[in-house]
């Protein structure tokens, strides 16, 4: 629905202010200096590779099935940290991608969720959505104001809400702008947030037409290599239309290595069905948004991004000179597949086996264009994933799906009774609902002369009595000192300007209900959500499996050390001992 002009202008002004405040500290930070005589073995390129939702146990679980040159090469020749965990509670995509190269947690960088309610703007906001900048190229035909007939600006993405500098930001300052920073993904937030505020190129997929787009925040025009890729006829993204997604390895026993092909609780994707083979049309007669959604919910979107990444490496000449560059590439399709069919499915096994081949393709290209031993790769994930509740129950665990909307409605009814208000007469919450946060309606509470802290405590106690809720924390608790017995990851999730009055943590193996039938999710501090892989390859790292616990905050520290630059100013991680030979 289009907004009226006055509303649009007010939001534009507020968004501009948010962007200026968010970036001011970064602009004013003094530039560190690079060593005058860098080491001759200094890498020419550092590559952050993210497989969205690749849980930390997958690499060990399916190690024997990987081919040569992909994951196995990283595990054999690099440092493999097998016990790496995220250090905060709300384990979702935006928070994960924001944390990797800032080296800090949501309590510092401010990306507390994929979306949240912003009280200053009086809006539900996305982690990277902005009306300050436009999509590039703009959609065709452009959106039109229904009242005036005038073309409207089409909003896009920018790192305005990211409150901490990234490794890329430090690289740009330290190299006087000479080091290149590139961010690529299928998802906008996964491209924007790791690369940071000063990317030379930042691209993600337009799901309406299967081409890659950017924002006028980053550039006034498409880079020539990106424009050329988008002009390909037929489109590179269209090659899988009408094909079926079938098992990559019919020679192996998928049931033995994952599970049966039709498990209770699985979703159906975009008219793709619960079992192999999965049709790749989305129900469309020709490539369109329905098809591109189906492609994203399959391994083929990762293949698309691999080819686009190759073009970026060549077009930007990454790693081609003495000044090191940074490339961030996040493969999103593992996340969509995992949400739909669950971590114990044949689909997740298959997309992981295909991801191994994608990794081999990327390493082969880096060998060819940058040179063996001249680059460093850090492989990780933004979060893990919970098993399907139905699978957990079959294994004897307590598990279920909870409706956040239903829980919010029941909470409102309870508050009405508790504070003696006619049922349905009070709008107790603001925003559309963003688990795990409950945003109380402060203006309404003020009008009713109710104390926000008291209502928060009442709500938290009620939530803790509900099925599936392990613990509910109030704003007052999270703004005070953390008791030793409490989980510090909850405190590292909380940001006072962006979180609600109450934060609810689910019990293990419970999930918030998805907007589609079946499937699973993530977003808790439980090990299946916090456990992510961490592999460091190249640059002379000491190879071998490392079982000791490591925080994912180490990623920014490792990348900084590989680039021979200071860590980002708000980074809280350290390089694991013994990573580099003495």
H/E segment holding residue 202: strand 201-206
**d(Cα 82, Cα 167) in Å, to the nearest integer?**
24
**d(Cα 507, Cα 107) in Å, to the nearest integer?**
22
Q: What is the DSSP string of 116-154?
A: EEETTTTEEEESSEEEEEEEESPPSSPPB-TTT-PBPPP
Encode burial over 247-271: b for 16+ CB neighbours within 10 A, e otherwise.
Answer: bbeeeeebeeebbebebebbbbbbe
CA 96 to chain centre: 5
Q: Are 218 and 159 in contact (CB under 8 A)?
A: no
- Helix, strand, coil fractions of the chain, as percent rounded to 5: 35, 20, 45
Task: Identify the CA nearest to 357 among candidates 300, 297, 279.
Answer: 300
Residues paired with 429 in a beta bridge: 440
Reduced to 3 states (helix: H, G, I; strand: E, B; else coil), residue 430 is: coil
- Cα 442 to Cα 207, 434, 453, 456: the distances in Å are 37, 17, 11, 11
CA 495 to chain centre: 18
Residues with Cβ within 8 Å of residue 239, at least 6 apart in sequence:
none
Write out the two tokens for 76: 């054999």
81: left (phi over 0), alpha (psi -120 to 50) or beta: beta
- Give me the helices (H) in 276-378, please: 289-296, 300-315, 333-341, 346-369
Task: Check 29, 91, 93, 102 and give the catalytic one.
Answer: 93
CA 178 to chain centre: 28
Q: Are 152 and 145 in contact (CB under 8 A)?
A: yes
Task: Identify the CA nearest to 155 among candidates 332, 3, 308, 312.
Answer: 3
* Rg (alpha carbons) of the chain, rounded to whole number: 24
**d(Cα 90, Cα 529) in Å, to the nearest integer?**
9
Is 93 an active-site residue? yes
**d(Cα 514, Cα 511) in Å, to the nearest integer?**
8
**d(Cα 336, Cα 298) in Å, to the nearest integer?**
8
Write out the two tokens for 263: 């498990």
Q: Tokens 């953390």 appear where? A: 482
**d(Cα 72, Cα 389) in Å, to the nearest integer?**
31
| Catalytic residue positions, numbered | 93
């Amino acid at each position: 629905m289009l907004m009226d002009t006055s509303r649009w202008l007010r939001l534009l002004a507020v968004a501009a202010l948010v962007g200026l405040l968010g970036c001011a500290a970064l602009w004013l930070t003094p530039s560190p200096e690079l060593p005058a005589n860098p080491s001759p073995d200094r890498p020419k390129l550092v590559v952050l590779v993210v497989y969205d939702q690749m849980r930390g146990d997958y690499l060990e679980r399916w190690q024997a099935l990987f081919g040569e040159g992909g994951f196995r090469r990283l595990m054999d020749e690099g440092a493999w940290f097998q016990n790496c965990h995220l250090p905060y509670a709300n384990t979702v995509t935006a928070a994960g991608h924001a944390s990797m190269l800032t080296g800090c947690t949501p309590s510092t960088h401010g990306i507390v969720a994929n979306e949240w309610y912003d009280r200053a703007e009086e809006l539900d906001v996305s982690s990277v959505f902005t009306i300050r900048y436009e999509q590039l190229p703009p959609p065709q035909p452009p959106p039109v104001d229904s009242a005036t007939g005038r073309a409207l600006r089409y909003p896009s993405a920018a790192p305005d809400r990211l409150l901490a500098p990234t490794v890329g930001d430090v690289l740009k300052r330290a190299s006087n702008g000479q080091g290149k920073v590139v961010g690529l993904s299928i998802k906008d937030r996964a491209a924007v947030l790791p690369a940071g505020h000063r990317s030379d190129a930042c691209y993600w997929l337009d799901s309406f037409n299967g081409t890659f787009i950017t924002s006028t925040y980053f550039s006034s025009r498409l880079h020539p290599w990106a424009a050329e890729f988008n002009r390909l006829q037929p489109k590179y993204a269209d090659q899988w239309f009408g094909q079926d997604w079938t098992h990559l390895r019919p020679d192996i026993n998928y049931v033995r290595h994952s599970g049966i092909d039709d498990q209770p609780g699985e979703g159906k994707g975009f008219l793709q069905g619960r079992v192999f083979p999965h049709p790749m049309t989305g129900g469309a007669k020709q490539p369109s948004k329905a098809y591109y959604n189906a492609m994203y919910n399959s391994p083929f979107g990762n293949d698309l991004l691999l080819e686009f990444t190759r073009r970026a490496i060549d077009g930007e000449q990454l790693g081609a000179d003495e000044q090191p560059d940074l490339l961030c590439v996040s493969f999103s399709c593992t996340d969509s597949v995992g949400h739909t069919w669950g971590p114990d499915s044949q689909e997740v096994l298959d997309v992981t086996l295909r991801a191994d081949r994608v990794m081999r393709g990327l390493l082969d290209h880096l060998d060819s264009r940058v040179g063996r031993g001249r680059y460093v790769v850090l492989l990780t994930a933004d979060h893990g994933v919970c098993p399907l509740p139905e699978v957990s129950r079959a294994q004897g665990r307590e598990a279920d799906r909870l409706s956040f909307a239903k829980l919010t409605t029941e909470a409102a009814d309870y508050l009405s009774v508790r504070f003696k208000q006619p049922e349905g007469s009070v709008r107790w919450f603001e925003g559309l609902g963003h688990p795990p946060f409950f945003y109380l309606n402060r203006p309404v509470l003020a009008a009713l002369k109710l104390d926000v802290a008291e209502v928060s405590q009442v709500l938290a106690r009620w939530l803790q009595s509900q099925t599936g809720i392990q613990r509910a924390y109030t704003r007052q608790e999270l703004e005070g000192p953390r008791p030793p017995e409490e989980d510090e990851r909850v405190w590292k999730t909380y940001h006072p300007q962006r979180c609600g009055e109450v934060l609810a943590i689910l019990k293990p193996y419970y999930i918030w209900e998805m907007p589609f039938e079946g499937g699973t999710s993530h977003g808790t501090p439980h090990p299946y959500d916090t456990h992510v892989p961490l592999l460091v390859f190249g640059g002379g790292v000491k190879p071998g499996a490392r079982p000791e616990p490591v925080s994912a905050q180490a990623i920014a520290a490792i990348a900084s050390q590989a680039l021979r630059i200071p860590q980002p100013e708000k980074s809280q991680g350290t390089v694991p001992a013994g990573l580099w030979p003495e």
